[in-house]
Structure 1
Amino acid sequence: MTELPAFRLEWVWRDEPATGSPEERATRADLRMSVGAEDLTRNEDPRTRVLAEHVTTALYPLAEWVAFNWWSLNADARPGTQISQLRFAYRNGVGDARGAWWMRSRRHVLRAACDGFHWPDVIFVPEGRETRVVWMPDATSATRERTRFVARGNAVVESAGFVVALRGFVDAVTERLAARGITGTPLQTEWDAIRRAGEEETAFCLAAARLGLDPYSEAGPHREAIAEVLKQLPEPLATDFLNGVGAEHVTDRLGWLAEARGLVGPARDDASAEVAELRAACADLRERFFAPGATDNPWEIGYQVADRVREWAGLRPTEPFDPAPLMHYETLPTAYLDRGLVALGARRGQRGPTLVAARRFTARPRRFLQARALWHLICDVHEEFLIAAAHTHRQHVARGFALEVLAPAQGIAALLADPAHLVSAEDVEVIADDYGVGNIVVEHQLDNRVLAQNFEWTPPAAGVR
Structure 2
Amino acid sequence: MNALRFDVEWLDGTGIKGPELAATFASLRIQADNAVLTRVDDKRARTLRDAVYVPLYPMAEWLVSNWWFLAYEAENLLNRTDPAFAQRHSLVTGAEGYAFPDVRFSSAGRLTHIVWSDRMSEWNELEFRSRGSITVDRDQFVQDCSDFVDMVVSRLAACGITATHLQSEWAAIEATDADELAFCATAAGLGRDPYDLDEPQKSLVLQVGELLGDLREEALPALGPDEPLAACTAIHKAMEQAVPNEVRLGASLLHSGDLPHHASRPWQAGYELARRARQVFGLNGELITTTAGLAEAIGHDVATLNRATRPVQSLGALTSIDGVVRPRDSQTVSFGLRAAGETSQRFLFCRALAEALTTSNDALLTRANTERQQRNRAFAAEFLAPSASLAERITVQFVDQDLIADLADEFGVSSYVIGHQIENHGIAELVAA
Query: Normalising TM by the smaller chain, what interval?
Result: 0.7 to 0.9
**TM-superposition CA deviations, 1:191-244 (whole Å, max 9, x none):** 222122222211100111222322223686443333234334443x22111221
The equivalent position to 2:413 in structure 1, one of 422, 437, 447, is 437
The 3-state SS of whatever aligns with 1:450 is coil
**TM-superposition CA deviations, 1:52-108 (whole Å, max 9, x none):** 12111011110011001101121223259999xxxxxxxxxxxxxxx9x96962222
Please state if 1:381 is matched with 2:364. Answer: no
The equivalent position to 1:276 in structure 2, one of 251, 257, 266, is 251
**TM-superposition CA deviations, 1:100-142 (whole Å, max 9, x none):** x969622222212221112112222333443232222236xx8
CA contact (8 A) 1:23 1:60 kept: yes
The equivalent position to 2:22 in structure 1, one of 22, 25, 37, is 25
The equivalent position to 1:171 in structure 2, one of 134, 143, 150, is 150
Q: TM-score, normalised by structure 1?
A: 0.80
The 3-state SS of whatever aligns with 1:278 is coil
The equivalent position to 1:307 in structure 2, one of 265, 275, 282, is 275
Please state if 1:60 is matched with 2:57. Answer: yes
Please state if 1:344 is matched with 2:324. Answer: yes
Using CA pairs below 8 Å that are at least 6 residues apart, which structure has the higher relative contact order?
1
Looking at structure 1, the residues matched to 32 and 77 of structure 2 have their Cα atoms a distance apart, in angstroms, of 19
Looking at structure 2, the residues matched to 222 and 439 of structure 1 have their Cα atoms a distance apart, in angstroms, of 44
CA contact (8 A) 2:255 2:358 kept: no
**Residue aligning to 1:70:** 67
Aligned length: 417
**Residue aligning to 1:115:** 96
Structure 2 residue ranges without an equivalent (≥5):
299-304
Please state if 1:246 is matched with 2:243. Answer: no
**Residue aligning to 1:225:** 204
The equivalent position to 1:428 in structure 2, one of 396, 401, 404, is 404
Indicate how the Cα distance of structure 1 residues 334 and 80 shifts in structure 2: closer, same or farther if over 3 A, else same: closer
Structure 1 residue ranges without an equivalent (≥5):
84-98, 290-294, 454-465
Please state if 1:402 is matched with 2:370. Answer: no
**Residue aligning to 2:302:** none
Indicate how the Cα distance of structure 1 residues 352 and 159 shifts in structure 2: closer, same or farther if over 3 A, else same: closer
The equivalent position to 1:450 in structure 2, one of 402, 426, 429, is 426
Indicate how the Cα distance of structure 1 residues 144 and 55 shifts in structure 2: closer, same or farther if over 3 A, else same: closer
Counting only pairs closer than 5 Å after superposition, residues 15-164 of structure 1 correspond to structure 2 as 15-78=12-75, 105-138=86-119, 146-164=125-143
Structure 1 residue 254: deviation in Å?
2.4
Letter in 1 for 2:106: V
Letter in 2 for 1:184: A
Query: How big is the alpha-carbon RMSD for the aligned residues of Structure 1 and Structure 2?
Result: 3.2
The 3-state SS of whatever aligns with 2:252 is helix
CA contact (8 A) 1:110 1:119 kept: yes
Looking at structure 1, the residues matched to 407 and 51 of structure 2 have their Cα atoms a distance apart, in angstroms, of 48
CA contact (8 A) 2:234 2:317 kept: no
CA contact (8 A) 2:255 2:359 kept: no
The equivalent position to 2:238 in structure 1, one of 244, 260, 263, is 260
The equivalent position to 2:9 in structure 1, one of 8, 12, 15, is 12
Structure 1 residue 299: deviation in Å?
0.7
Indicate how the Cα distance of structure 1 residues 79 and 220 shifts in structure 2: closer, same or farther if over 3 A, else same: farther
The 3-state SS of whatever aligns with 2:8 is strand
CA contact (8 A) 1:7 1:165 kept: yes
Looking at structure 2, the residues matched to 23 and 80 of structure 1 have their Cα atoms a distance apart, in angstroms, of 38
**Residue aligning to 2:346:** 367
Q: TM-score, normalised by structure 2?
A: 0.85
Indicate how the Cα distance of structure 1 residues 102 and 222 shifts in structure 2: closer, same or farther if over 3 A, else same: closer
Letter in 2 for 1:405: F
**Residue aligning to 2:180:** 201
Indicate how the Cα distance of structure 1 residues 39 and 203 shifts in structure 2: closer, same or farther if over 3 A, else same: same
Letter in 1 for 2:136: V
Letter in 1 for 2:318: D
Looking at structure 1, the residues matched to 425 and 199 of structure 2 have their Cα atoms a distance apart, in angstroms, of 44
Structure 1 residue 356: deviation in Å?
1.3
**Residue aligning to 1:391:** 369
CA contact (8 A) 2:326 2:363 kept: yes
Structure 1 residue 33: deviation in Å?
0.9
User: Among the aligned pairs, what percent are the same residue?
Assistant: 31
Looking at structure 2, the residues matched to 196 and 34 of structure 1 have their Cα atoms a distance apart, in angstroms, of 29
The 3-state SS of whatever aligns with 1:277 is coil
The equivalent position to 1:285 in structure 2, one of 260, 273, 283, is 260
Looking at structure 2, the residues matched to 258 and 434 of structure 1 have their Cα atoms a distance apart, in angstroms, of 38
Letter in 1 for 2:415: N
Looking at structure 1, the residues matched to 201 and 96 of structure 2 have their Cα atoms a distance apart, in angstroms, of 31
Indicate how the Cα distance of structure 1 residues 369 and 336 shifts in structure 2: closer, same or farther if over 3 A, else same: closer
CA contact (8 A) 1:78 1:212 kept: no
Indicate how the Cα distance of structure 1 residues 275 and 398 shifts in structure 2: closer, same or farther if over 3 A, else same: farther
